[in-house]
Amino acid sequence: MGMISEFKDFIAKGNAMDLAVGVIIGASFGAIVNSLVSDVITPALLNPALKAAQVENLADLKTDGGILYGKFLAAVISFLVIAFVIFIMVKGINSMKKKEEAAPAAPAGPSQEELLTQIRDLLKK
């Protein structure tokens, strides 16, 4: 019974629950970003270039030796676009967050002259 209660306590801790929520939301966010990139941005960027090169799909590009450099180019372009989209989204989210107020400055203590004056006055008594 001890191990089961320890496991229950471990699962119920905030860190484990926060991690679970983060993973689930991250997966959903990944689906949104992938859809944005594959369905909106990539066709807008690549379709004109592919039509000019008379190629239907970037992945179809290959050398005479069978090297599929088109797939590699598609992966690189996809990575760059996804990274840029995430950068823009994070930048937007960060700008929406409230600016943290600066901590109030600690009250300045007495200066050295004031301390010496207080010591002198105490010695006079």
- Per-residue pLDDT tens for 58-87? 666 677 777 777 778 778 877 888 888 888
First to last CA, the chain: 73
Between 78 and 106, residue with greater pLDDT: 78
- Give, in degrees to the nearest 5, the angle at Cα 83 between 35 and 70: 75
User: At residue 101, does pLDDT exceed 60?
Assistant: no
User: At residue 20, does pLDDT exceed 60?
Assistant: yes
Which range among 65-69, 78-82, 92-96, 100-104 shows the weakest confidence by mean pLDDT?
100-104
Q: How long, in residues, is the chain?
A: 125
- How does residue 95 score in pLDDT terms, banded at 50, 70 and 90? confident
